A and B are shown apart, each in its own frame.
Chain A
Amino acid sequence: MTISQFLLLGSALFSMGLYGVITRRNAVLVLASVELMLAAVNINLVAFDSYFQDQLKSGQMLSLFVIALAAAEVAIGIAIVLMIYRNRQSADVDELSEMKG
């Protein structure tokens, strides 16, 4: 398997995630899309780690950190979304436009 296949997979995943983040209206799905983007990054990290034969496996280590961070982020994100939903009976991102300038 060549590195380009992994990178293609990563970029495909990232693009799908990005598309989801920008277009999805449900906040939960936006968070899920963010997870997709992070997963794409993790794939890249691990792919490059293996490609460069890194003795310290820093790519893998970094992806572990990213996974841990993602878990934490989702935990907080879901909590916020839950609170918003509770207050507004909706998790539609389009309606959260109080910060309009």
Chain B
Amino acid sequence: MSFLATILPQIILATEEGVEGSGHTEEFVPGITSGPLVEYAWLIVVVPLIAAFLIVFFGKKSPFKGWLMAWLSIAFVAVYGTILFILNATQGIVYYGQVEIARIGDLVLEWGWSVDGLSIMMYFLVGVVGTLVFTYAKSYMEGDVRFTWFFASFSLFAGGMLVLVSAPNLIQLIVGWELVGVASYLLIGHYWEDYDNVDAANKAFMVNKVADAGLFLGAIIMAVSVGSFRFNDVIDVVVKGEAGPLSQYAFWAGLLLFIGAMGKSAQFPLHVWLPDAMAGPTPVSALMHAATMVTAGVYLLGRLFPFYIDVSGLFAGDVRNIIIVVGGLTLFLTGFLAIVQDDIKKVLAYSTVSQLGYMVAAMGAGAYTAGLFHLFTHAFFKALLFLGAGSVIHAVHSNNMSDMGGLRKKMPITFWTFIIGTLALIGVFPFAGFFSKDEILASMAFAGESGQNVANFILILGIAGAFITAFYMTRLVALTFFGEYKGHAHPHESPKMMAYPLIGLAVFALTAGWANIPGVYNGFTEWLATRVPLTGMGDHEATGFDWPLVLLTSGIVIASVVIGWLIYAKDAETQAARDRLRIPVLWPLFENLYYIDDFYMSGIVRPTMGPLAKLVLWIDMNIVDGIVNAIGAGSIATAKAVRITDENVVDGMYNATGAVTGATGSVLRRTFTGHIQQYAAFSFIGVLVIVVLFIVF
């Protein structure tokens, strides 16, 4: 590990000096901190949300039944995001817009938009991947009963993610977080006529809710102990290294927020919802697994990275060991599950879970850039793989690889782009995944050597994970594109609207990794720089390839591909080929997904559901109905009282007024005799009385 000799002193220096010391060659100085470009960046967030809203109400009458509106909104995000991305790469942008919404005592609720390296990367990703997926989706969803509704939800999905990644405070992050959750629920359950899909949608929602409890509690602890919801205020406290309320509860805040991240980013053992989320239409899977939703957890860890990296040793540094272990277990364990799946989308789903494990493990190892770089490259090639799989499914009308095979000649564009995506995923030079995965492994090695002992163990899992990844992808490609066609439909190449996005994503899958080549070009590291200089937070910038590690990993990947090819290429997916791999204890374990789903179902869901249902029924029958009945009875009693009051008191008052007036009248009328002389006498008496009074008083 030769680069350590040059890096380590810098890191130690940086650690000692806090954030002031920079391991970078120069400290990051943003070029753009104001101006209309960043001040109007809120449009990125608002436009897709408005589009979603408009499509719901006017979609069916608008051009292409709402698709055009959705596409234009996401294309706007792509264009704006790309402009920001380029300007950030050339000049650097740091801007935080805030609008106060409400103030309750000291609590200030704000809506804002971050325009910094991290957010811009996400805008770019959501916009570009989103535009390609939306283009693809028009063709894929053609003829769907809820075509318009699909694009409304899809826009909401992208918009929710943009709310999330633009959030400069925890409240807005939670709002975006839940928007993404609800949109994913709508999209996973898009074909709700099939009850399984409804179950899958519910499962995704519930599992995420369990994790969200952690997010909420973590956010509350953090906001209360800092006295502000803003990330910048949190990070200020962390950077200054102030011992205070935050440092006191940092471990719990960090752990709870990470549990929230585990849900959205599908970390073991909360990964169970993601493979089931395949029930949604394939473009949804593509977007969900690439740019939106599952990246949210990694994004949150990135946003609060200084808090976790914990230079001063006062904050959530301990949580990092938990993070790296969870990430490591995820990347290792879920990889095996991908090997045994027959559903092509589920293979890719477990692959996503596994890759998310890499990202989270990288975050746990303190590798901010490496984790987010993998997020960045993974978004492109995983979207590509999903769209490719969608293209295949579209052609053979089945999700199962046992109905595929031999498609490489029938679907050449899909085949070649899929191969590029596969090579990028398994990390073959010079495709994108090679650079990002290598950087993660190098960061783990570095973390292990700089004192985080558990990282050494996770590094081994990571290298093993590379083997597993290459193996299941080889299997997938072999079963789908090679051998004999086993299905019954007549596959053909997908329409151009579906093929072009594949080509576009393939270009990114090839080139995205070149953004950060150790020792050659470290652009990505600088693009990501937020207001806190990254080095000093433990992030390291490799000055060159870690050659032993690179060669080891590449060798393992190639070996894995060869082994996979030998097993699956010839007699692809005959029962014999499957049986050759049946390892007695492990195989059933994998096929049953480690019994985690079963455990959740019979260990948690049913035991709670039965008594809970009874309890709820009891509460409903007795308490709720009791309250309702009491309210009814109370209303009747009140009405009666009102009636009595009305009939007696109110009517009585009117009647009494009338009666008194009448009585007075009948008394006084006797004085009106009609005799003028009597009147004259009265007048005189009156005058006399007045005169007497006048004299007396």
Which residues of A are in contact with B by a Cβ distance under 8 Å?
Answer: 18, 21-23, 30, 93-94, 96-101
Interchain CB contact under 8 A, A21 and B675: no
Q: Does B552 contact A (CB under 8 A)?
A: no
The answer on a CB contact under 8 Å between A97 and B684 is: no
Count of chain A to chain B residue pairs whose CB atoms are closer than 8 Å in the complex:
31
Find out whether the CB atom of B675 lies under 8 angstroms from the CB atom of A93: yes
Mask: chain B, 667-681; 1 = CB below 8 Å from A; 0 = not: 011111111110011
7 tightest A-B CB contacts, nearest first: A101-B672, A97-B674, A100-B674, A101-B669, A99-B674, A22-B677, A22-B681
- Within 646-697 of B, Cβ neighbours of A (below 8 Å) are at 668-677, 680-681, 684
Interface string of B568-586 (1 = CB under 8 A from A): 0000000000000000000
A96, B672: Cβ atoms closer than 8 Å: no
Partner of B677, one of A23, A98, A100: A23
Across the interface, which residues of B come within 8 angstroms of A100, CB to CB? 672-674
State in angstroms the CA–CA spacing of A18 and B680 once bound together. Answer: 9
Partner of A96, one of B670, B676, B684: B676
**A99 vs B675: C-alpha distance in the bound complex, in angstroms?**
8
How distant is B51 from chain A, measured CB to nearest CB, in Å? 82
Residue of B nearest to A24 (CB): B677
Q: Please give, as numbers and ranges, the residues of chain B lying within 8 Å of A97 by CB-CB distance.
A: 673-675
Residues of A within 8 A of B681 (CB): 22
Size category of the binding interface on chain B: 10 to 19
A93 to B681, CA, bound (A): 14
Knowing A18-B684, A21-B680, the reply to whether A94 touches B675 (Cβ < 8 A) is: yes
Having A22-B677, A99-B672, one finds 20 other A-B pairs with CB under 8 Å, namely A18-B684, A21-B677, A21-B680, A22-B680, A30-B677, A93-B675, A93-B677, A94-B675, A96-B674, A96-B676, A97-B673, A97-B674, A100-B674, A101-B668, A101-B669, A101-B670, A101-B671, A101-B672, A101-B673, A101-B674
Chain B residues with CB below 8 A from A18, complex form: 684
Closest to B666 in A: A101
* B668 nearest CB neighbor, chain A only: A101
Closest residue of chain B to A25, judged by CB? B677
Chain A residues whose CB sits within 8 angstroms of the CB of B675 once the complex forms: 93-94, 97
In the complex, how many angstroms separate the beta carbon of A62 from the nearest chain B beta carbon?
19
By the criterion CB–CB under 8 Å, are B676 and A93 in contact?
A: yes
Where chain B touches its partner, the secondary structure class is: helix
Q: Which of B670, B676, B684 has the most CB of A within 10 A?
A: B676
- A61: shortest Cβ distance to chain B, in Å? 24
Residues on A with beta carbons closer than 8 Å to the beta carbon of B670? 101
The residues of A that contact B684 with a CB separation of less than 8 Å are 18, 22
14 residue pairs from A and B, CB less than 8 Å apart = A18-B684, A21-B677, A21-B680, A22-B680, A93-B676, A93-B677, A96-B676, A97-B675, A99-B672, A99-B674, A100-B673, A100-B674, A101-B668, A101-B669
**Residues of the A chain whose Cβ atoms lie less than 8 Å from the Cβ of B674:** 96-101
Q: In whole angstroms, what is the CA distance A100 to B676 when docked? A: 10
For B678, give the chain A residue with the smallest CB separation.
Answer: A22
User: In the complex, A34→B48 CA distance in Å?
Assistant: 100
Question: CA–CA, A99 to B672, complex, Å?
Answer: 8
Q: Mark B436-463, 1 if CB is under 8 A from A, else 0.
A: 0000000000000000000000000000
Residues of chain B within 8 A (CB-CB) of A21 are 677, 680
Q: Which residues on A sit within 8 Å (CB–CB) of B668?
A: 101
For the complex formed, measure the closest distance between the CB of B664 and the CB atoms of chain A, giving whole angstroms: 13
Cβ of B390 to closest chain A Cβ, rounded Å: 101
Instruction: Bits for B125-158, please: 1 = Cβ < 8 Å to A, else 0.
Output: 0000000000000000000000000000000000
Query: From residue A18, how far is it (CB to closest CB) to chain B in Å?
Result: 6
Whole-angstrom distance between the alpha carbons of A88 and B74 in the complex?
105
Closest to B676 in A: A93
Smallest CB separation, A54 vs chain B (Å): 23
Q: Which residues of B contact A30 (CB under 8 A)?
A: 677
B669: chain A residues within 8 A (beta carbon): 101
Instruction: Give Cα distance in the complex from A30 to B670, angstroms.
Output: 24
CA distance A96 to B672 in the complex (A): 13
What separation, in Å, do the CA atoms of A23 and B673 have in the docked complex?
15
Distance (whole angstroms) from the CB of B172 to the closest CB of chain A: 82
Chain B residues, CB < 8 A from A96: 674, 676
Nearest-Cβ distance from residue A34 to partner chain B, whole angstroms = 9
Q: How far is the CA of A88 from the CA of B676 in the complex (A)?
A: 17
Q: Tell me the minimal C-beta distance from B402 to chain A in angstroms.
A: 112
Name the CB-closest residue of B to A18.
B684
Q: Which chain B residues (455-487) contact chain A, with CB distance < 8 Å?
A: none
A94, A99, A101 — most chain B CB neighbours (10 Å): A101
Chain A residue contacts of B680, Cβ below 8 A: 21-22
Contacts of A94 in B (CB 8 A): 675
Q: Which residue of B lies closest to A100 (CB)?
A: B674
Whole-angstrom distance from the CB of A32 to the nearest CB of chain B? 14
**Measured between alpha carbons, how far is A34 from B694 in the docked complex, in Å?**
25
A34 to B, closest residue via Cβ: B680
What is the bound-complex CA distance between A22 and B674, given in angstroms?
A: 13
Bound state CA distance, A93 and B669, in angstroms?
A: 20
CA distance in complex: A23, B674 (Å): 15
Q: What residue of chain B has the Cβ atom nearest to residue A21's Cβ?
A: B680
Closest A residue, CB atoms, query B665: A101
Given the complex of chains A and B, what is the CA–CA distance between A99 and B681 in angstroms?
Answer: 16
Bound form: Cα–Cα A100–B675 in Å: 7
Q: Bound state CA distance, A18 and B685, in angstroms?
A: 11
Collect the chain B residues with CB atoms within 8 Å of residue A99's CB.
Answer: 672, 674
Per the bound structure, the CA–CA distance linking A98 and B675 in Å amounts to 9
Q: In whole Å, how far is A17's beta carbon from the nearest beta carbon of chain B?
A: 11
- Separation of A97 and B675 alpha carbons in the complex (Å): 6
**How distant is the Cα of A94 from the Cα of B673 in the complex, in angstroms?**
10
Query: Which chain A residue shows the least CB distance to B669?
Result: A101
